[in-house]
A and B are shown apart, each in its own frame.
Chain A
Amino acid sequence: MKRSSILILVLSMVLVLSLTVGAFAQVNNPNTFTKINMGTIDSLDPHYQYDNASSEIYANIYENLIMFKEGDITQYEPLLATEVPTVNNGLIKNDGTTYIFPIREGVTFHEGGTLTPEDVKYSFMRGLIHDRNGGPWWMLYGPLFDAGGLSDITEQVVGVENPSELTAAQSAEVYAELDKAISVDGNKVVFNLPKPNPTFLSVVVHDNGLGAIIDKEWSIEQGAWDGSPETIAEYYDPAKESDPLHEQTNGTGPFMLNTWEKGKRIALDRNDNYWREPAQLERVIINYIDEWSTRKLMLQRGDADVVYMDKQYQSQVENLDGVEFISGLPNLYTGYGLMNWTIDTKGNPDVHSGELDGNGVPSDFFEDINVRKAFNYSMNYDAFVSEVMDGDGQQARGPIPEPFLGFDEDSPVYTMDLEKAEEHFKKAFDGELWDKGFEITILYNTGNSMRKTASDMLKYNIEQINPNFKINVRGIQWASYLDRMIAGKFTLGFIGWGADYADPHNFTVPFMRSDGTFGNFKGESYKEWAKENGVDSLVNKGVEVTDREEREEIYKEIQNIAYEYATDLYLYQPTAHILMRDWVQGWTYDPILHDGIYYYRIYKAQE
């Protein structure tokens, strides 16, 4: 053949080959998974952490006694226990006050120890003693002791309010009390509850760090609680920097810690000695980058497999090559406008004159049910869902979100009805409000556009009703916002709550109970009202009965009370979404882990 034709042949082969090679999009780094998140990890100590970023790490390094069935938060499966306690298999006894967990054998920790029932008891006891201020342990103190925290127990038993002040003898007494709740019986660990509590299993399930099992011997070596009944004072509520498990990990999970560069990056390696089949991924790397555009570019180039995305940028990613955007995932979250029934008017610029004189609002502005109802009728729920949330999500029907007990998609809710709003405004304060008008400032946390939009909507609608109604919308820094809330100075503020564990109790307490996180900020008159009108007792009753149908009735009633009395302005339940490369396989959504991913079943392949 002539030289030139050989050349042409070779060149065309090269061309064809290069095209075909390009046609099979290869998977970048098939054994390493890279995720880019926002924010930062608070702590690697599973008993300390209480934020989304940290819980993702805990969930892959540590394990609990039981876990959710994959993709279904209404069913449990055994994990470090060999069976899930139920009434049927006899592992729940004594009318729901005893839970028995047989512990699995042959499980090893990353640093070499073997799992025993002693480790399980130690893990829980250590956590109960640790009980850091602002941490998650109140969730377990409820079911196990009917208390709010360690300080309640110490006060009850030895009359000391601050556990750091316990003497050795007092500590031993308190310990004896704690000891009653958990015992080891052969290869089983037994939990004894004072009363039946249907939330118990949902609190200790995998996804919730406080149920993480740590290695007793290793932890003691690192400087965590030494296992002695007399040292509670030393190990109670340590500062983050003195927490021995803050940066060191030793769990039984499918991944182990390689390096943690605080605020920047964390790298996990596969645990090849995992008690189940080892994971398919060799490494997991999570980077923390706050700039959306940078994250997006890294995803497009394949340098990242999953990136965090704020819902509002959805329109930018719906049709990108190689990228999959999944939305409409269940999100256990309620966003609402919290109304303060007793506003502190002293030195408070947001109430303006502080009187019912047309130039401000009085302290009891939101105490009047007509005002609350009028505000509820003035919100443009449809536009919020369709425009602000792009149609993903729904109007909230009360404190309890879908799919929890008490949620009823046919329950009554407010709709935008400016005529009804006008009616209620006219009735408010015996007609005085309508004549004189008012001026109020609604605050939002700067940077939170959704909350600003909700506030703008109220302003837009209410100001149309009566020219004497004036609403100012003002953004303030988080520091000031927090201050206003704690000091009872805010008027109306949009805020939200995401589930810690899969039970409606986790919503009724903070929103409705007088001592709940938000109930606390709603002012004295709300607290009195909640107590006197049976709201508190109803919320408590919800966890005193175990029969599912009975509970459902109770929660439906609570949901209804929120509507009837317009206690707050319930606005929205968003959906969740995820943005990832299309070569990510094996992913299922876990609403409690939320943005976090359980990497055990994930692998990368082009399909």
Chain B
Amino acid sequence: MISYIVRRLLILPIILIGVTLLVFSMIMMLGPYERLSTYITDPAQLKNVDVDVLVTKLGLDDPWYQQYGRWISGVARGDMGWSESAGSTVTQAFLNRFPATAELGLLALLPVVVGGVILGVFASVHHNDVWDHVSRVLAIIGWSVPTFVFGLIMLMIFYGTLGWFPPSRLDSWALDIVNSTGFINYTNFFIIDGLLNANFAIVGNAIRHLIAPVITISILWWAFIMRITRSSMLEILRRDYIRTARAKGVTENVVVYKHAVRNALIPVVTVAGRMVLGLLGGLVITETIFNIKGLGQFMAQAAQQLDYPAVLGGTLYFGFLLIVINLCVDVSYAIIDPRIRLE
């Protein structure tokens, strides 16, 4: 097991280089004037600019390996470059936005996974009766309603009308406190920092602002987890060893929870892994609507503006996350089903 993990981690840098090279070459397929658009976002900025001088100054027409080489030697030194779309270094931009995305994602994880699995097991146990149908239809609706529709309706009701759950991460007064010198920002996760600074008003305010986006995310992902759990459970419940257990007189509950669920979890784990990746990668629409300046929104914007240091930085981050998560998922297969051998 250990050697397997170590081996997978050793390949990490190779894959990261491979990925960034791939993305970089995609961007390089665009001409220098197109890549200039990162710096010139409005035709008004063309006044009195000699575009060719600008292109040379920015090194946009250097051979691709030179540009990539510049970038990667920078990364080796810990310098990921300057993000034009963020107006700061790429590292700074990521450090700024990661907590927003992660706080939201991790907080959403528990209700989604736990809720989804429970609902899925519930539906499979009640296979083909009313509860099964109802929960499935609700799940489909949750899945197919576009996020922004649900998010905006939530905002309208719970903020517009009731004023309970406002957008953004904190109220203005709370932001002032957080930015002031008296408050130490250890992690930029407001809930954690609030606790560490013993300022419970901040903690409460942060949670209040997270409720609506978490629910919005959950509605979408519950459906996904639920359906995979359900179908997987139905699969397992028909297997011979389950029939055997039932025949032997084992109580239904034990059958379901001890024998079936464990094995049904394998595809669920795969999907959950994908979900964590999606959450930590940032959810563009949710972030845009609730004004949470996170990685999802940043990456979409950077891609649209062809801000390649930011895009490459994002690729590195995402790639790293993915490989680690995939590794965890693969390892967990072995833990769940001892018959699976990691080679």
Are A and B direct contacts in the complex by CB distance below 8 Å?
yes
Residues of A within 8 A of B (CB): 32, 34, 40-43, 50-51, 133-134, 138, 148-149, 239-241, 259, 261-265, 267, 285, 287, 289-291, 293-294, 297-298, 300-301, 303, 477-483, 485-487, 495, 497-498, 510, 517-518
Q: Does B36 contact A (CB under 8 A)?
A: yes
Complexed CA–CA distance, A239 and B83 (Å): 12
Q: Within 8 Å CB of B305, what residues of A?
A: 478-479
Contact: A482 with B156, CB < 8 Å?
no
Complexed CA–CA distance, A597 and B67 (Å): 42
Contact: A240 with B87, CB < 8 Å?
yes
Complexed CA–CA distance, A510 and B48 (Å): 10
* A–B pairs, 17, beta carbons within 8 Å: A50-B44, A134-B47, A134-B49, A134-B54, A262-B96, A263-B87, A265-B175, A287-B291, A289-B167, A291-B288, A291-B291, A297-B159, A479-B35, A479-B37, A483-B31, A483-B36, A483-B37
Contact: A134 with B30, CB < 8 Å?
no
Complexed CA–CA distance, A261 and B156 (Å): 27
Between B30, B43, B86, the greatest number of chain A beta carbons within 10 A of the residue's beta carbon is seen for B43
Given the known interface contacts A133-B53, A479-B306, the answer about A262 and B159 at a Cβ–Cβ threshold of 8 Å is: no
Contact of B33 among A133, A261, A482 (CB under 8 A): A482
Contact: A294 with B33, CB < 8 Å?
no
Contact: B290 with A34, CB < 8 Å?
no
Return the chain B residue nearest A521 by Cβ.
B46
Contact: B48 with A480, CB < 8 Å?
no
Contact: A483 with B87, CB < 8 Å?
no
Contact: B33 with A267, CB < 8 Å?
no
Given the known interface contacts A50-B45, A138-B48, the answer about A486 and B33 at a Cβ–Cβ threshold of 8 Å is: yes
Between B47, B159, B290, B291, the greatest number of chain A beta carbons within 10 A of the residue's beta carbon is seen for B47
Contact: A478 with B293, CB < 8 Å?
no
Complexed CA–CA distance, A264 and B35 (Å): 25
Complexed CA–CA distance, A297 and B166 (Å): 9
**Chain A nearest Cβ from B24, distance in angstroms:** 16
Contact: A293 with B172, CB < 8 Å?
no
Q: Does B69 contact A (CB under 8 A)?
A: no
**Chain B nearest Cβ from A318, distance in angstroms:** 18
Contact: A289 with B160, CB < 8 Å?
no
Contact of B155 among A41, A264, A297 (CB under 8 A): A297
| Given contact pairs A138-B48, A262-B86, A287-B168, a sample of 5 additional A-B residue pairs in the complex whose CB atoms are under 8 Å apart | A293-B152, A479-B305, A486-B33, A486-B36, A487-B33
Return the chain B residue nearest A515 by Cβ.
B48
Q: Within 8 Å CB of B172, what residues of A?
A: 32, 34, 285
Complexed CA–CA distance, A289 and B155 (Å): 14
**CB-contacts of B260-298 with A (<8 A):** 288-291, 293
Complexed CA–CA distance, A285 and B176 (Å): 11
Q: Within 8 Å CB of A240, what residues of B?
A: 87
Return the chain A residue nearest B88 by Cβ.
A262
Contact: B47 with A510, CB < 8 Å?
yes
Complexed CA–CA distance, A265 and B291 (Å): 11
Contact: A482 with B36, CB < 8 Å?
yes
**Chain B nearest Cβ from A379, distance in angstroms:** 21
Contact: A263 with B86, CB < 8 Å?
yes
Instruction: Flag B95-127 by CB within 8 Å of A: 1 or 0 each.
Output: 010000000000000000000000000000000
Q: Does B201 contact A (CB under 8 A)?
A: no
Complexed CA–CA distance, A301 and B166 (Å): 10
Q: Does B51 contact A (CB under 8 A)?
A: yes
Q: Within 8 Å CB of B89, what residues of A?
A: 241
Contact: A289 with B291, CB < 8 Å?
yes
Contact: B37 with A482, CB < 8 Å?
yes
Contact: B304 with A477, CB < 8 Å?
yes
Complexed CA–CA distance, A303 and B31 (Å): 45
> Number of residue pairs across A and B with beta carbons under 8 Å?
120
Interface on chain A toward B: helix, strand, loop, or mixed SS? mixed
Complexed CA–CA distance, A497 and B42 (Å): 10
Q: Within 8 Å CB of A297, what residues of B?
A: 155-156, 159-160, 167
Contact: B176 with A267, CB < 8 Å?
yes
Complexed CA–CA distance, A148 and B53 (Å): 15
Contact: B35 with A134, CB < 8 Å?
no
Contact: A517 with B47, CB < 8 Å?
yes
Q: Does B77 contact A (CB under 8 A)?
A: no
**CB-contacts of B122-172 with A (<8 A):** 152, 155-156, 159-160, 163, 166-168, 172
Given the known interface contacts A259-B179, A300-B160, the answer about A517 and B152 at a Cβ–Cβ threshold of 8 Å is: no
Between A263, A301, A517, A518, the greatest number of chain B beta carbons within 10 A of the residue's beta carbon is seen for A263
Complexed CA–CA distance, A259 and B89 (Å): 18
Q: Does B57 contact A (CB under 8 A)?
A: yes
Contact: A134 with B36, CB < 8 Å?
no
Contact: A40 with B87, CB < 8 Å?
yes
Q: Within 8 Å CB of B49, what residues of A?
A: 133-134
Q: Does B337 contact A (CB under 8 A)?
A: no
**Chain B nearest Cβ from A448, distance in angstroms:** 11
Q: Within 8 Å CB of A479, what residues of B?
A: 30, 34-35, 37-38, 305-306
**CB-contacts of B30-75 with A (<8 A):** 30-31, 33-51, 53-54, 57
Contact: B160 with A301, CB < 8 Å?
yes
Between B57, B96, B172, the greatest number of chain A beta carbons within 10 A of the residue's beta carbon is seen for B172
**Chain A nearest Cβ from B200, distance in angstroms:** 22
Q: Does B82 contact A (CB under 8 A)?
A: yes
Contact: A495 with B289, CB < 8 Å?
no
Complexed CA–CA distance, A43 and B84 (Å): 12
Q: Within 8 Å CB of B159, what residues of A?
A: 297, 301
6 nearest A-B pairs in the assembled complex, by CB-CB distance: A479-B37, A483-B33, A138-B48, A483-B34, A479-B34, A134-B49
Complexed CA–CA distance, A297 and B54 (Å): 42
**CB-contacts of B292-338 with A (<8 A):** 293, 304-306
**Chain B nearest Cβ from A291, distance in angstroms:** 5
Given the known interface contacts A300-B160, A482-B33, the answer about A294 and B42 at a Cβ–Cβ threshold of 8 Å is: no
Complexed CA–CA distance, A287 and B168 (Å): 10
Contact: B41 with A478, CB < 8 Å?
yes
Return the chain A residue nearest B162 by Cβ.
A301
Complexed CA–CA distance, A291 and B54 (Å): 33
**Chain B nearest Cβ from A527, distance in angstroms:** 16
Return the chain A residue nearest B41 by Cβ.
A478
**Chain B nearest Cβ from A493, distance in angstroms:** 9
Contact: B289 with A133, CB < 8 Å?
no
Q: Within 8 Å CB of A301, what residues of B?
A: 159-160, 163, 166
Q: Within 8 Å CB of B45, what residues of A?
A: 50-51, 134
Between A40, A290, A481, A482, the greatest number of chain B beta carbons within 10 A of the residue's beta carbon is seen for A482
Between A51, A294, A303, A477, the greatest number of chain B beta carbons within 10 A of the residue's beta carbon is seen for A294
Q: Within 8 Å CB of B96, what residues of A?
A: 262
Contact of B293 among A43, A263, A285, A482 (CB under 8 A): A263
Contact: A486 with B160, CB < 8 Å?
no
Q: Within 8 Å CB of B82, what residues of A?
A: 239, 241
